[in-house]
């Protein structure tokens, strides 16, 4: 397995409000733009520590086609002084689709769609909301992308994709990854079957 540096998109207003975004296009807010720029130094240090000075300019960057991830990737490369580096838009690392639940909070879903919410609680990995996807389905498309990743790369994507990658690349149980914290403004490094959230410069 190659080394993959995963970056979740920065904060959006829907993140702050606890609304499911899925395939809905949302913009970064001011905090999200700051997070996207701040993650640059963590990525620089990690890549140089792993592969040496100058390796960053040759690192492929793939991003979900959704607006919040494209904005994050653009700001990240701008902060790295690599604005000319091409970003590969990769549909297979787009966020899990929540279908008719998008735009709602979990409390709203529990109230408006209690039966489907109950079914989701019974099997979160395989359940697909009305018009949406299951994590198992997302794992199939993300797995196809990972199978083609033969060299170190950076993936700018979403929380649901991070959970799937934890399962596929670090062999964590599905139930565990569905309750894991997925941070914004951080780098998650996958290598040799292991994963680690990298410390931010100036933080313990």
Q: How far is CA 160 from CA 71, 85, 108, 147, in A?
A: 18, 26, 20, 19
Q: How far is CA 180 from CA 125, 156, 167, 190, in A?
A: 13, 18, 11, 15
Q: How far is CA 51 from CA 3, 8, 56, 89, 153, in A?
A: 10, 22, 8, 24, 12
Closest CA to 66 of 26, 117, 100: 26
- 4-197 falls under which CATH superfamily? Phosphoglycerate mutase-like (3.40.50.1240)
Residues 40/33, Cβ–Cβ less than 8 Å: no
3-state secondary structure of 87: strand
Q: Could you tell me the residue ranges of all domains in the chain?
A: 4-197
pLDDT, tens digit only, all 204 positions of the chain = 799 999 999 999 999 999 999 999 999 999 999 999 999 999 999 999 999 998 999 999 999 999 999 999 999 999 999 877 889 999 999 999 999 999 999 999 999 999 999 999 999 999 999 999 999 999 999 999 999 999 999 999 999 999 999 999 999 999 999 999 999 999 999 999 999 999 987 655
The predicted-structure confidence for 149-163, as pLDDT tens digits, reads as follows 999 999 999 999 999
3-state secondary structure of 154: strand
Q: How far is CA 67 from CA 21, 175, 179, in A?
A: 11, 29, 26
Active site residues: 9, 158
SS3 content of the chain, % helix, strand, coil (to 5): 45, 15, 40
Give the span between the Cα atoms of 134 and 170, in whole angstroms. Answer: 20
Q: Residue 55: which residues within 8 A CB-CB, separation 6 or more? A: 47, 48
Beta bridge partners of 8: 157
Residues 5/47, Cβ–Cβ less than 8 Å: yes
Q: Residue 50: which residues within 8 A CB-CB, separation 6 or more? A: 3, 152, 191
């Amino acid at each position: 397995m190659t080394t993959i540096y995963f970056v979740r998109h920065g904060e959006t207003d829907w993140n702050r409000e606890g609304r499911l975004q899925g395939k809905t296009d949302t913009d970064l807010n001011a905090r999200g733009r700051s997070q996207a720029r701040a993650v640059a130094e963590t990525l620089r240090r990690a890549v140089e520590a792993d592969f040496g000075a100058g390796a960053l300019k040759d690192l492929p960057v793939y991003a979900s086609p959704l607006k919040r991830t494209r904005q994050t990737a653009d700001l990240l490369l701008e902060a790295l002084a690599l604005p000319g580096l091409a970003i590969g838009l990769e549909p297979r690392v787009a966020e899990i689709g929540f279908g008719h639940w998008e735009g709602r909070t979990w409390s709203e879903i529990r109230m408006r769609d209690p039966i489907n919410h109950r079914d989701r609680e019974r099997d979160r990995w395989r359940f697909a909301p009305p018009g949406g996807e299951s994590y198992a389905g997302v794992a199939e498309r993300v797995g196809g992308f990972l199978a083609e990743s033969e060299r170190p790369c950076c993936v700018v994507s979403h929380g649901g994709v991070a959970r799937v990658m934890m399962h596929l690349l670090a062999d964590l149980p599905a139930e565990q990854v569905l309750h894991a914290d997925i941070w914004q403004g951080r780098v998650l490094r996958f290598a040799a079957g292991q994963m680690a959230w990298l410390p931010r410069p100036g933080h313990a």
